[in-house]
Amino acid sequence: MTEEETRQLMDDILTVKKRLADLTVIVIEHEMGIIERITDRCAVLNFGRKIAEGAYREVAADREVQEAYLGVE
């Protein structure tokens, strides 16, 4: 998707979330800025195993998530 198409899709998802508060939307995405913008909660998988779940900032700060996606020094 282009950057504009991605932005429009994220806007549409946010609109749906506001209108239908009891609806769950599942998004699989690797761009963390997008995930941070549209999620209340997120889960992180590593090789099909859930390694973290919670608010974006909690998950992004998790050591295991960082190691899985950013590597270790």
Q: Which of 5, 27, 4, 28 is nearest to 16 (CA)?
A: 27
Is the pLDDT at 26 greater than 90, yes or no? no
Tell me what the mean pLDDT of segment 1-7 comes to.
90
C-alpha–C-alpha distance, residues 37 and 26, integer Å: 14
Give pLDDT tens digits for 11-21: 999 999 889 88
Give pLDDT tens digits for 37-69: 989 899 999 999 999 999 999 999 999 999 998
Per domain, the residue ranges of the chain are 3-70
C-alpha–C-alpha distance, residues 7 and 48, integer Å: 27
Q: Which of 12, 15, 9, 14 is nearest to 29 (CA)?
A: 9
